């Protein structure tokens, strides 16, 4: 991962952490990860991984959208 991408992730995570303060002002004593857990929110990097995994699964399951399906290769261990 490039330094620019890393910086973007840090900024996004910071924004998400700030949002937890706005949504849960009475729980400021909790850590950022505890507030995320309380809200059932994934941290940014895990959210990205989840969205990629979900999109990949759905693409393989129904072969749509075709432009993504054609880019995927199913791994078959030997």
The per-residue pLDDT for range 2-56, each reduced to its tens digit, is 889 999 999 999 999 999 999 999 999 999 999 999 999 999 999 999 999 999 9
How far from chain centre, in Å, is Cα 42? 6
Cβ distance 32 to 68 under 8 Å? no
> In this structure, what is the dihedral angle of CA atoms 23, 43, 6, 51, given to the nearest 10 degrees?
-120
pLDDT at 66: 92
Reference 57, options 74, 40, 78; nearest CA is 74
Q: Residue 16: which of 29, 59, 37 has the closest Cα?
A: 37
């Amino acid at each position: 991962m490039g330094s620019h991408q890393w910086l973007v992730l840090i900024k996004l995570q910071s924004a998400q952490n700030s949002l937890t303060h706005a949504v849960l002002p009475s729980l400021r004593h909790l850590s950022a990860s505890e507030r995320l857990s309380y809200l059932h929110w994934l941290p940014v990097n895990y959210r990205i991984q989840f969205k990629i995994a979900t999109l990949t699964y759905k693409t393989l399951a129904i072969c749509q959208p075709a432009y993504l399906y054609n880019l995927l290769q199913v791994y078959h261990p030997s």
